[in-house]
Amino acid sequence: MTHEPSPVPRLVARTQEISDPGPLLDLLPVDAPMTWLRRGEGVITWGVAAECRTSGEARFSDASTWWRNVVRVAAVADEVEVPGSGLICLGSFAFADEPGDSVLVIPRVVVGRRGDRFWVTTIGSAAVETPRLETQDAPEPPVNLVFADGALSGAEWEGVVWEAVLHLNAGELDKVVLARDLIATADAPIDVRWPLRRLGSEYEMCWTFHVDGLFGATPELLVRREKGLVTSRVLAGTIRRTGDDEHDLTLAATLARSSKDLEEHEYAVRSVAEALEPYCTSMNVPETPFVLHLPNVMHLATDVAGVAHDSGASVLELAAALHPSAAVGGTPTKLAVEMIAEIEGMDRGRYAGPVGWMNAHGDGEFGIALRSAEIDGARVRLFAGCGIVAGSDPEAELAEAQAKFVPVRDSLAGA
């Protein structure tokens, strides 16, 4: 599928500071809602002022060009001037080059929070009246939700993992990330605000997002660009939590010493550092990861940081340079992505692709669309993936994938 070049609109954006309007997710209406939130901070948006749909290998560059052209002709009045105020867009990009269907959306209304500052931005072809911000009626839960295997059953996916391990043991590559899907179907169209509210509450240390039907709570920040500082959080190496704090501390220590997980993590960190290096004047890459504790799992994590060149690529251009990292593709990445296309048995869509927001200065945040799902009416397609190395056990990897389904799966459940 190809997309015609999106027209470049002449937009007027106006940001005003406001008093605390309450929890942002409670304000979100049903009109094309989008979110990017962590610990209650970030932005919610609704309505569509303009959008750019791109596809294929040039999806990132085409979207970047369109955004630069939009910014060049826009009129922006921003009295707040913090990350997320002013003219912004939200985007979600496909994992693979083909079909590669991706989107940038400029919302009509943005409500944001940064620390103790709050604002509302209106965007349109002319000045838009500032909306009245009100707590919305609570969304209804999905009706009679039923789960079923996606492209492959659990046993079939274990077979795919075993096939990958054979290639890895033969020395063809070092790591490959394999994903599987799960299908949820309800009796009536699902209000995406239902899972968003639950994810935002239960996984507040993650980035709760929704862009054009793709939603989730990702623990992994692909890249942030803010006033010259570039940062990226790398997650690779996972162990499931038991709910027993003392036992979980023991498991965390086991994870931190696991040669299999440390090897997988090292590949991912190296991938990110090498991709960012051409865009930075200096970099800090910690030698030892820390253990990130989430409600359902624990990850090995490393925060990579750098100082951007003065000319400065935008956060979207940095995301394009980083994607796909070893954390979602494998090592060597080109060979791993080819193997994914050959044996995984499904189209990932925008799962594990970059998702996030960007402002008129090229600053912003893009995460990796993990712990995510695509919603289409009464149908939701959930995704989960695992890093496979030579020592991987297919049964253990299936259990890890099942654990990674939990956040979105539970968010869809009834009250």
- Which residues carry out catalysis? 175, 220
Are 286 and 302 in contact by the 8 Å Cβ rule? The answer is yes
Q: Positive or negative CA dihedral for 27, 31, 37, 41?
A: negative
Longest dimension (CA), the chain: 63
Distance between CA atoms of residues 236 and 385, nearest Å:
11
Intra-chain end-to-end CA distance of the chain, in Å: 39
Residues 6 or more apart from 247 whose CB is under 8 A from it?
Answer: none
Distance between CA atoms of residues 331 and 162, nearest Å:
17
Our measurement of the distance from residue 54's CA atom to the centroid of its chain's CA atoms, rounded to an integer in Å, reads 18
Distance between CA atoms of residues 328 and 316, nearest Å:
18
